[in-house]
Amino acid sequence: MKLIFLGPPGAGKGTMAARVKEYLGIPHISTGNLFRENVAEKTQLGMQVKEIMEQGNLVPDDLTIAIVKERLSRPDAEKGFILDGFPRTILQAEALEKMTSIKHVLNLICPDRELIRRLTGRRFCPACGRSYHVEFIPPKQENICDDDGHQLSIRDDDTLEAVQNRLNVYMEKTRPLIEWYENRGLLRNIEADVPPDTVFERIQAVLNK
Ligand code: AP5
């Protein structure tokens, strides 16, 4: 099954994509994680995108489309995948439409005040990318990833200033995709301002229809 997770920063796209990955046995492809890996490894791409990401702006479309095209061409993505954080602009959506066909676009809906609480309390695993929250979704052992035992980190773009910019960028560049996918009959709205298990049940209901 080929899925997209759409929604503002902090809506829970990464958290839910990780659960759906286990549920359906398909890869979770997060452009944010792919870029962060490049930044951590100090690749040429990583050097290009580091500052853009820290400020909460979007990486240029050509770089983003190229990284997704390469990732989707790998054998594990043949039967299905979960795209998390891509597309984020109409141009990216048009490029994706030429690459493959999508079954559902799961649009996670959550109010701004909750998004800010979620992002400022987020911790993530720099090794596997898994997200936690100090209050809402804590790891079993404080500050340690449940999956691989790595020490958790705070993302450089989870400062209040960068979060505010990311929300503005979302409103301007990404929100128009809601209508774009609605017009194609692919949009599935999920109210996500509820505990993670409830969000996951709502997603399962869509997937099992
Ligand atoms: P990216 O990594 O995609 O960040 P984002 O879209 O801003 O989304 P987040 O990862 O912040 O939020 P999320 O919805 O995944 O929430 P999460 O599950 O972690 O992108 C980062 C940057 O990379 C961009 O700013 C841009 O520079 C660049 N980039 C990436 N893709 C790009 C593209 N296509 N084009 C151009 N540039 C691109 O949850 C958040 C917190 O809430 C966590 O702490 C979590 O534990 C908690 N939480 C989750 N669900 C719940 C719940 N139901 N209840 C309570 N807490 C919850």
**pLDDT tens digits for 146-199?**
999 999 999 999 999 999 999 999 999 999 999 999 999 999 999 999 999 999
Residue 115 C-alpha to ligand 1 middle, in angstroms?
Answer: 10
Token pair for 67: 């990284």
Cα gap 139→147, rounded to integer Å: 10
**What is the reported pLDDT for 129?**
81
Ligand 1 binding site (Cβ under 6 Å of any ligand atom): 7, 9-15, 30-32, 35, 52-53, 56-59, 64, 85-88, 92, 118-119, 121-122, 131-133, 136-137, 157, 166, 192, 195-196, 199
- Asked about 36 being catalytic, the answer comes back as no
**pLDDT tens digits for 75-128?**
999 999 999 999 999 999 999 999 999 999 999 999 999 999 999 999 999 888
pTM of the model: 0.95
Residue of minimum CA distance from atom 48 in ligand 1: 12
7: left (phi over 0), alpha (psi -120 to 50) or beta: left
Cα gap 156→51, rounded to integer Å: 10
DSSP secondary structure, 78-123, as one string: SS-EEEES---SHHHHHHHHHH---SEEEEEE--HHHHHHHHHTEE
Contact 102, 96 (CB under 8 A): yes
